[in-house]
Amino acid sequence: MGADHRLFGPQWAAGLEFEAPRFPIPDRRDTMADYAARLRDALELSGPCVLGGVSFGGMVACELARLCQARCVLLIASCRSGAAVPSYYRFVELASRIVPDFLIRRRCKASARLIAKLESLTQEQFELVGAMSRDAPVPFLRRVGRMILNWQGPASLPCPVYHIHGDKDLIIPIRRVSPDEVVHGGGHVINLTHAEQVNRFIRRHLGPQ
């Protein structure tokens, strides 16, 4: 949830054309729906579009789909409600409310190293994940974590949802979701580690419909 536009380097390098807007820091009382509404206004989404995202970005895309003319939603290592996130993250979120910023920063660095080991990242990919973790504002991490865990998710959407997920994802375990396509051996950053398969998935649904 601390990633930014740099996460999509393999997709842009493959010639895919899309926008990756910067996520603003949520207000203290924002729900996922509130946050999506503010993002819609900032993006000025006035016509048909394809929405999508990785992890937290996919969750926001689901809420945005209720507010604009979405042709479809593309979920990459994401989910349709906070119920897909393991319950032990609730303890992490509660702890994040009281621990000082430097401990959260330290945990972000440890998480980047763990992801690098579990998902067999290259040195370049590890440095990218580490840089994004360092650059994510702590208030953003705290508030997004709360939003995710309180997110009910839309009961239905006015457009199709297409979902690709790694079967080794430890953040959003595959047993908690029902993806249309499975990336065998893929973890939570499949658009980096399995870029070709993810790019094919995006390309199938990004074009005219």
Q: pLDDT tens, 7-47?
A: 999 999 999 999 998 899 999 899 999 999 999 888 887 78
pLDDT at residue 175 in the model: 96
- Tell me if 23 sits within 8 A of 53, measured CB to CB: no
Over residues 163-177, mean pLDDT: 96
- Tell me if 14 sits within 8 A of 201, measured CB to CB: no
Q: What is 5-206's CATH topology? A: Rossmann fold (3.40.50)
Q: What is d(CA 152, CA 80) in angstroms, rounded to the nearest whole number?
A: 8
100 Cβ neighbours under 8 A, 6+ residues apart: none
What's the mean pLDDT when you consider all of the chain? Answer: 89
Taking CA atoms, 75 is separated from 21, 28, 67, 168, 185, in Å, by: 16, 26, 17, 16, 18
Q: What is d(CA 16, CA 120) in angstroms, rounded to the nearest whole number?
A: 25
Over residues 103-115, mean pLDDT: 70
Confidence tier at 108 by pLDDT (50, 70, 90): low
138 vs 199: which has the higher pLDDT: 199
Give the global pTM: 0.90
Confidence tier at 208 by pLDDT (50, 70, 90): low
Q: What is d(CA 97, CA 127) in angstroms, rounded to the nearest whole number?
A: 28
- Tell me if 170 sits within 8 A of 55, measured CB to CB: no
Q: Which residue has the tokens 């709360």?
A: 146
- Parse the chain into domains and list their residue ranges: 5-206
Check pLDDT > 60 for residue 200.
yes
Radius of gyration of the chain (CA): 16
CA angle 35, 36, 41 (to 5 degrees): 100
